[in-house]
Structure formats: C-alpha cells, structure tokens
Amino acid sequence: MPHLPGLSRVLVTVLLVGVVGLSPTVSAEGAGRSGAQQGGTIRLEILSNRADLVSDGDAFLRIVLPPGASADDLRVRVGGRDLSHAFEVRSNGQILGVLDGLRNGENVVSATLPSGAGARLTITNHPRGGPVFSGPQIKPWGCAEGARDKQCNRRTTFEFECKSSVTGQFQAYDPEAPPSDCAETTTDQGKTVPYIVRVETGVIDRDQYRIAVLYDPEKPWLPWKPQPAFNHKLVITHGASCNTEYQQAEAPDVLNDTALSRGFAVMSHALDNSGHNCNVALQAESLVMTKEHFIDTYGTVRYTIGTGCSGGALAQYQIANAYPGIYQGISPACSFMDTWTGRMLYEDYSLLRLYFEDPSKWTPGVAWTEDDVAAVWGHPNHVNAVVYNNAISALLDPSRACPGIADEDVYDAANNPRGVRCSLQDYMVNVFGRRPRSDWTKVERKLGRGFADRPWDNVGVPYGFEALQAGDITAAQFVDVNAKVGGRDIDYEWQEARASASRRAVSIAHRSGAYNTAANLDKVAIIDLRGPDPGAFHDVYRTYAIRARVIREHGHADNQLLWRGTVALMGDATFESDAILALDKWLRSVEKDDRDVPLAQKIVEDRPKSVTHRCTNGSGTEMPEKFCNEVVQSYSTARIEAGMPFTDDVAKCRLVPLTPARFFPVTFTAEEWKVLKSTFRNGICDYSKPAIGYQDTVPWMTYADGPGGRPLGPAPTSR
C-alpha cells in the first residue's frame, strides 16, 4: 500500500480520492506485516515517505518475500549498485534496511531471488535542500552563518540536555562529565530511563529543523532497533504569528516535557513557524521532508500530534486540511483557520479604520459613535482592530518592510519596480500564478510580466448590513461608509473602487487549501483550546467559524472537541499539556480499530468517553458549559455583519442586482439610493449562494509543474 510518513495501516482505511495511502509501521515489538508475502511474489515497501517524495538520498525500506524464500538469497540493486548488504532480517523478523546514495531524480530499486521472482520500485529523490512539491524556491534567500552551499546546508549538530532532579528544569548534559542531579523518567511504555534528551539541529529544505528524543549516549540507535525509551509517537511544535521571510530562521523549541518524559519524540521546523512562513504548501513540504528524515534515522511513527497557539494553530488547521495525514491529531490554541481567509478581517479593519478614525471623511450630517462602529465590525473593542493591524504586517503590501531583504532592494513602483515584492501573494506565486495580461498595470507592462495573482476581494460587500437591518446604524451611515471604504490595488495603494479578485485566483485558493474549506478536517482528531480574547485580535469567533466549516462539509463536527477556560487566549494553564495526552489516548483507541470503515468514522466512534469537551475555571477545575459560554465570549467580523455566513470564508461573493427589497423595511432618500446604486453598480453580495470559485480543497497538491498545481495522484508501488 502507498505510504505517507507518520501513519499506521490501521489509521488509514480509506484513501483520499486515491491520493494518499500508507504502509504499516514497524514498532519496537515487531508489529506489522509478516515477513512472508502470499502469492509467490516479492514486495518492496518504503516506510519513510511516498516513493515519489523522497529527499536527501536515502529511504527506509521493508522487503517482503514469498513463503519459503530466504533473505540470504536476496539481491537488492539500485541502478548498477548492489546494496544487498543493507538488508537483513532484523530482530522483529522483518527484512529492513536503509538505501543510501540515491541520485536526484528517478532511482529504480530491484529485489530478486534465484528463482526469478522479483519486484521493482521507482523512487524519485529530491535534494536535501528541496524543493519537493512546493515549486521553485523563493528568491532571494539568506542563509545563516556557516552554510556550506546556496541551499543553506550545514553540519548537523547534536546536543544533550537532562532534567534536573533538583530544579525540575532542563540543563546542559556532557556525557564526559554528566551533572550529578539528572532525573529519571518512566515512559508510557513502562520503561524507566535516565531523563537525558538529545537535540538534533540541522537544515532541511533550506531552513532549520530540530528533533528531540530521550537518548542514552552510551547505547546505539538504529531505525529498525530504536532505544527502548522511544514510544514511536511524534509531537510537532509550532511558532506564532504570520509572516513571509526571505532568510533562514530558528526552528521552534522542542524541549516539551509532557511529551519527552513519556517517550514521544518532538520535532519542529522553522518553515512551520507561521511567523516565519505562512505558505501552506511550503509548510507541508518541510514537515514531510523532516518526518522522512526522522523515520530514516529514528524509526517508524505510529501517529503524529500537533501543538501550538495562534500562528501555530493556523499551521495545524491549514496543513491538516490541505495535506491530510501529516498529523493524526492536532491541538490548535487561540485559533486561526488559515492564512488567507484571516486576511479578510485584517483588510476590512484596515479599510474601515481609514474611514472611522478620520471624521473629515464623514459626510456632513453623518457621525459615528463607538457603539455604531462596533456594530459594523462585529466587535465591541475598537482596540482589537488597532492591535490586529499593528501586530501583524500588511502582508498584501509588496512594498512593506521585508524580513531578510534590505530596504533598498524592496519593490517600489516608482523608484525600484524590479525590487523584491514582499507580499503574501508574491511569496505564494507558485500556488496562485501571475495576473492575466488584461489586468496589468503600467509597471507590469514595462517589466513584461504580471505580478502574482491575489485572491482577496471586497466587491459588493455591504458593510454594516446586519446593523442597518437591526436599526443599530442609520441609512445615512450605511450609505456613507460603503461609498467611501474603497479597496486596494495590486500595489496595496488605497483606491476608491473595491478590490476585485480574479475567478482563477479564488478557485485556486479553495483548491489549494489557502482557503481552509475543512473538506479534509474530518480525518484528524481535533482539540481546540480557547480562552477569552482581551482585545488582542485572537478573536474567539474563529473557533466556531472553523467548526461551522466542518459542519458544512461533513454534517457534524464530532471530531472536534472544544476546551474552554478563563485564561486569556489559551483557556487554561494545563490545556496544552493535557491536550497532547488526551489526543494520545484518543489515537490509541483509533489505532486498535481494525474495522474496514472510513478513518473519519473511526475517529468519531473510537473517541474514549473520558476525552470530551471541557470548560474550566482556568486552573484545571471543571465548570459547567454555561460558565464558559458567558466568559469566553464570541463576537464576529465585518463580513459576517455584512451578511456572510458564520463560516467566514466567502472571499468573493456572487452579486445580485441592487433593489429596495434587499433592504426592507429600511428606506433611503432619493439621494442616498443614487449613491448606493453607484457604489454597488455591479450588484450586492448574495450570501445565500456559494462563493465564487468555491470547491473542496484537493488533498496533496504539487506545484512542481507550475502554478495552480495538480494532485499528486497515487503513490508509486512495488511492481
């Protein structure tokens, strides 16, 4: 069966439209398939990745022989090289080995017996520095000091830490002169070992990764025979925020005591720190490559759990939807749903603030109170909008200050038109492609190429529509704000006209997972951690918006648990650690289910009764659900207050002609109606209809062949 790293056979029973599948894991106890293949044929199984996504020149393989065949007679070749010596019957009774020295491109691996029985598997290898499926790499790109080449590769380092029995903190550990106060820990497999952690730090896909495991420096570790402290489970940690950088960065911290003390491995990659990189395709690629390296080095993984707040939640949610199978469980905290639908609120705040915070823009006779403003953007705290716009960069602005790029090298339409365009859409040009010639500006015509297409739109959005209907704002206010809010052009300059996205761009955004449709989120166990938002822009509504998307797509959200508490943003001081353990318990139950039913069904039906929704007082004490409904207050957005469904993902609405009936029972003066007709000359949003370009996210897209992408298709198999 085709394979994706980090999943076991029992965790995947239905392939996602034929794109993704798995082979079974190999545990320390020897779980997995028998060493004999029925039918008299040989089978080659790659355990660390799909055969067409391999990187760094090596791959962990299992070879299954027909009954009665001897591994001593097996011959394994890659091209003209004999690599039979790499494969042996290991202590778990299986024939395992790591192929190395694979060249970039296709490598045909053959296994034969003297009887003539044989099999071949084509492995496509990619450079350690990438890319694999994210498309041509972002340029320019700055490497950290010590890089050996333009791919930023450098010597991998290994450092040791141990948990102090005195302070309870991690401290440096020197195997030649160990501290006297290193503690012991007992893993969830009942193994009591010294609490010593090895942290591996290196570069994959041009950026830094970290891997931490319980590790005895006195003992060997082989992928088919890991040290006994490893429980074959993996936790991935993530960073916060959202940005697009053009340089190497540090990977998030991996010294997670909850996970490590129980035998989990902990992994991170800088490109999965959304504050460094918000591109979902590149995020997924770096995780696939790093998980492959982990399995090739440390052994197979039963399941993988994600953890992280804010931008860390963003990464978990959008990767789990666009590249299902990378995680089996996620615990997003202070959630964002994805990079791009979250931009709608950012840009609406930005445009509305230009109007609301400058009374000179108001038509005489029109005035706004704070309550009026709050009614339009769906949040009672004006500071929320200010903080949101100030804490996160204007990522659609190609001329913004750009991490990794000198100011003089950044794009400027007048003074440096050939400079680096530091916008999110340009960072994701492999996904969206370039603007059609018909939309080119003077600068684009001069350059002879279009800028990256942008899936952001506010055409037809009737800001304040719900407040108007409720009588919370006047007809004059509604007309004035909509006539003057405007939009931004492709260079992010304010314009009187609304911003219009191409149908192609919004279609790609849905298909690629840049807009998280939740089409594939039923195949992952979710615990969403949430506390109140004190005006810090981590709006509570997002938890319910992603839940609404899951319900829209699947008819329920039974695979998503809500943990809420009074601690701002996170909910409870214990939630993050508790969620890892709860997901572990949940996934163990799914793992044991060998029924021939869809994975999504198993996730819902196998959830232990003790793993359920929670409401606490912020210190671990359970409270009634009503308590959290009152404390963890949910507001909305300017688009929702304009009539958009609570899914908060109609990026380009379908338009209908403007008629008085749309506003009944509100009436307008003749002059107001004239202004409205001019403002919405092409029509007003009809949110009862699906968004333009709406389609389910297609899992496992590759952009190696060009913008817009294509599904990877079935993985290569042994033949």
Question: What is the CATH number for 218?
Answer: 3.40.50
Strand partners of residue 158: 200
State yes or no: pLDDT of 120 exceeds 60.
yes
Same domain, 461 and 396: yes
* Residue 317 half-sphere exposure toward CB, CA atoms < 13 A: 33
Confirm if 343 and 395 have CB atoms less than 8 A apart.
Answer: yes
Residue type, position 61, single letter: L
* Terminal Cα distance for the chain, rounded: 12
Quick one: pLDDT at residue 2? 32
Query: Residue 491: inside a domain, yes or no?
Result: yes
Helix (H, G, I), strand (E, B) or coil at 14: coil
Sign of the dihedral defined by the CA atoms of residues 565, 568, 572, 576, in that order: positive
Element (H, E) at 172: strand 170-172
Same domain, 352 and 303: no
* pLDDT, tens digit (0-9, with 9 covering 90-100), for 383-440: 999 999 999 999 999 999 999 999 999 999 999 999 999 999 999 999 999 999 999 9
Is the backbone of residue 236 left (phi > 0), alpha (psi -120 to 50) or beta?
A: beta
Average confidence score pLDDT of the chain: 93
Return the residue matching tokens 């071949």.
Answer: 120
Q: Name, in order, each residue with C-beta under 8 angstroms of 619's C-beta and a sequence gap of 6 or more.
A: 572, 573, 574
Quick one: pLDDT at residue 17? 28
State yes or no: pLDDT of 492 exceeds 70.
yes
Quick one: pLDDT at residue 79? 87
Q: Name, in order, each residue with C-beta under 8 angstroms of 24's C-beta and a sequence gap of 6 or more.
A: 8, 9, 10, 31, 32, 33
Strand 43-46 to strand 59-64: parallel, antiparallel, or no bridges (unpaired)?
antiparallel
Query: Residue 648: inside a domain, yes or no?
Result: yes
Same domain, 223 and 306: yes
How many domains does the structure of the chain reveal? 4
The residue among 415 and 11 whose pLDDT is bigger is 415
Judging by beta carbons within 10 Å of its beta carbon (0-12, 13-18, 19+), is residue 415 exposed, middle or buried? exposed
> Rounded to whole angstroms, how far apart are CA atoms 264 and 58?
24
Quick one: pLDDT at residue 180? 95
What is the DSSP annotation of 443-484?
A: HHHHHTSPPBP-----TT--TTHHHHHHTSS-HHHHHHHHHH
CB atoms within 10 A of CB 403: 16
Quick one: pLDDT at residue 534? 87
Same domain, 165 and 214: yes
Q: Which two tokens stand for residue 315?
A: 């990464």
Give the strands of the sheet with 59-64, arranged side by side. 43-46, 59-64, 95-99, 88-89
Query: To the nearest 5 percent, what fractions of the chain are helix, strand and coil?
Result: 25, 20, 55
Query: Residue 471: inside a domain, yes or no?
Result: yes
Same domain, 369 and 419: yes
Same domain, 583 and 648: no
> Rounded to whole angstroms, how far apart are CA atoms 571 and 334?
8
Query: Residue 107: inside a domain, yes or no?
Result: yes
Judging by beta carbons within 10 Å of its beta carbon (0-12, 13-18, 19+), is residue 70 exposed, middle or buried? exposed
Same domain, 256 and 279: yes
pTM, two decimal places: 0.94
Query: Residue 438: inside a domain, yes or no?
Result: yes
Please compute the mean of the pLDDT values over residues 155-167 and round it to a whole number: 98
Quick one: pLDDT at residue 37? 53
Same domain, 346 and 315: no
- Could you list the residue range(s) of the whole structural domain that residue 580 is in? 533-631
* pLDDT, tens digit (0-9, with 9 covering 90-100), for 28-62: 333 333 345 545 789 999 999 999 999 999 999 99
* pLDDT, tens digit (0-9, with 9 covering 90-100), for 207-234: 999 999 999 999 999 999 999 999 999 9
Same domain, 559 and 602: yes
Q: Name, in order, each residue with C-beta under 8 angstroms of 71's C-beta and a sequence gap of 6 or more.
A: 63, 65, 87, 88, 89, 95
Question: What value, to the nearest 5°, has the Cα angle with vertex 681 and ends 676 and 686?
Answer: 85
Phi, psi of 656 (to 5 degrees): -130, 155
> Rounded to whole angstroms, how far apart are CA atoms 397 and 379?
25
Same domain, 216 and 299: yes
**Could you tell me the maximum CA-CA distance found in the chain, to the nearest angstrom?**
94
State yes or no: pLDDT of 542 exceeds 60.
yes
> Of 37-41, 54-58, 99-103, 159-163, where does mean pLDDT reach its minimum?
37-41
Please compute the mean of the pLDDT values over residues 523-538 and round it to a whole number: 95
Query: Radius of gyration of the chain from Cα atoms?
Result: 27
State yes or no: pLDDT of 696 exceeds 60.
yes
Confirm if 357 and 315 have CB atoms less than 8 A apart.
Answer: no
Confidence class of residue 694 from pLDDT cuts 50, 70 and 90?
A: very high
Strand 303-309 to strand 233-237: parallel, antiparallel, or no bridges (unpaired)?
parallel
Please compute the mean of the pLDDT values over residues 688-697 and round it to a whole number: 96
> Rounded to whole angstroms, how far apart are CA atoms 283 and 274?
8
Question: What is the CATH number for 45?
Answer: 2.60.40.10
Same domain, 206 and 328: yes
| Crossing angle between the packed helical segments 341-356 and 370-377, to the nearest 10 degrees | 160
Helix (H, G, I), strand (E, B) or coil at 576: helix
Chain centroid to CA 168: 32
Quick one: pLDDT at residue 41? 87
Query: Residue 152: inside a domain, yes or no?
Result: no
